[in-house]
Amino acid sequence: MRILVTGAFGFVGQAVVRRLAGDGHEVWALTHRPPGGPLPALPVQLVRHADITDREALRPAVAGVDAVCHLAALTNGRTSGALTERYWEVNLGGTTALLDALAARPDSGPPPLVVFGSTAAVYGAPEHQPITEETPAAPGNPYGASKLAAEQEVARRALAGQVTAVVLRCFNVGGTGDVDQTRIIPKALAVAAGQHPHLELNGDGSTVRDFVHVDDLAQAYALALTTPRPPGAYDVYNIGATPASMRQIVTAVERVTGRPVPLVHRPAQPEAPRLVADTTRAARELGWHPHRSTLDHLITDAWATLRQPTRG
């Protein structure tokens, strides 16, 4: 297939591009980065430069594609409260603009397939665990709320027959290329590398979150694109793999790196004690099974990225 990947040069986008190209697809990339600037080397046939909210600029980007993996978004839940308007503009407005551009195509034939990258943040902090796709959505920040609204817009377009859609609600992504120190694994590794004197943990470190390797997530995108489904279908899947407490992550970082991670414990915060994915549906319907999402794999690959002399 000819597939457009929005947000192609981001952390997840790069892994998705490499996986799709490796599977033999023709991959086009969409980026908001200006033309002429440096870009990571990726196996793409075409690069389009456009803001995801610009309907007119998106029209040539979607012309002739069979499917779209929509990854372009703002994704930091902790900072979304200070940038609420911008999160809604990009996450909902950008998704709407992309769907409008697809609807405006003169192409005949079946509706295009859209695989939409969503987030477990749409669930908020449900009491019942593990979290299934039927768990009521109750986002606790503008990031989750804007992504849920975007999901609903995708669903509306599928119901109208404009697209066939798959939503992947991803939990915490890590592994190769993960250098964002707002996330626990890269921050703990940076402490192990001597970049910071200590790691701060809220409470006793018993909070549990679900982690998935970016390569396993890319596999989910590849399977979502090739699993047969009727035109106009709309399906939602949780993508998570390995539940782990913050303290377990620190212990694993110390084991993998052979270096200490000094801790400073801060007061416990009002946050969900456990957020774990039920991925039964993805396994059953997509045939998705994670292979690189053990803690040791996640940490080893992120550690290798951190120790590279340069990064694209």
Domain ranges of the chain: 2-173+214-240
Within 13 Å and on the Cβ side, how many CA atoms surround 159?
A: 6
Closest by CA to 297, choosing from 208, 178, 209, is 178
Can you read off the two tokens belonging to residue 270?
């009002």
The pTM of this model reads 0.96
When comparing pLDDT for 37 and 136, which is higher? 136
Please give the Cα distance from 22 to 215 (Å, whole number).
12
* Phi then psi dihedrals of residue 115, to 5 deg: -105, 110
- Decide if pLDDT at 269 tops 90: no
SS3 2: strand
Please calculate the CA angle 59-71-288 and round it to the nearest 5 degrees: 125
Please give the Cα distance from 223 to 225 (Å, whole number).
5
**Can you list the pairs that 83-90 forms with residues at least 24 positions away whose Cβ atoms lie under 8 Å?**
83/142, 84/142, 87/142, 87/143, 87/146, 88/142, 88/146, 88/149, 89/53, 90/52, 90/53, 90/146
Peptide bond into 130 cis (omega under 30): yes
pLDDT in tens, 96-112: 999 999 999 987 688 99
| pLDDT reported for residue 34 | 84
- Decide if pLDDT at 310 tops 60: no
- Counting residues of the chain whose pLDDT is more than 90, the rounded percentage is 91
Please indicate whether residue 234 is annotated as part of the active site.
no
Average pLDDT, the chain: 95
Contact 118, 75 (CB under 8 A): no
SS3 214: helix
Alpha-carbon Rg of the chain, whole angstroms? 19
| pLDDT reported for residue 309 | 64
The domain defined by 2-173+214-240 folds into: Rossmann fold (3.40.50)
Q: Which of 123, 143, 221, 237 is catalytic?
A: 143
Please give the Cα distance from 65 to 61 (Å, whole number).
8
